[in-house]
Amino acid sequence: MTEFDPERFEDKYAEYFPELQTAYRNAFEAMNDRYDSELVHAIDQQVLNESEPFYEGNGEFRVELPDDPVERVTAIVVEDQKLQNVLDIYAETIERELRAVFGFETRENAT
């Protein structure tokens, strides 16, 4: 676990890149175990590759998605509502993983 500094998180890619990679990888693995792997991979490659994590304070993180995330997914054919539901769960999973990686939540609670 890395000691978290909210001010350092403002320059997250320089200060916390390995931790961010870990959180996103853990979320991908958790989602891939529970949902259609093609859908999870498409979301990962076509939406989350341009997402931005933010620290909200009090141990909470928010993942901001790019504009029109559903329209970005072109690698597979999927109903928009199903895609949106899985995307919402995926973003929540990343937020939980960020809390776990930075020590705000235990690993058991993160998945």
pLDDT tens, position by position, for the chain (111 residues)?
A: 557 999 999 999 999 999 999 999 999 999 999 999 999 999 999 999 999 999 999 999 999 999 999 999 998 999 999 999 999 999 999 999 999 999 998 765 555
In the structure encoding, which two tokens stand for residue 40, read together?
């999870």
Say what the pLDDT of residue 52 is: 95
DSSP 66-87: PSSHHHH--SS---HHHHHHHH
Model's pTM, two decimal places? 0.90
In the structure encoding, which two tokens stand for residue 42, read together?
């498409």
Residue 102 makes CB contacts below 8 A (sequence gap 6+) with 1, 2, 4, 19, 59
Say what the pLDDT of residue 3 is: 78
Instruction: State residue 4 phi and psi, 5-degree precision.
Output: -90, 135
Say what the pLDDT of residue 33 is: 93
Say what the pLDDT of residue 107 is: 60
How far is CA 95 from each of CA 57, 71, 75, 76, rounded to the nearest angstrom?
A: 13, 23, 25, 25
Kindly tell me the sign of the dihedral angle through the C-alpha atoms of 45, 65, 10, 107.
negative
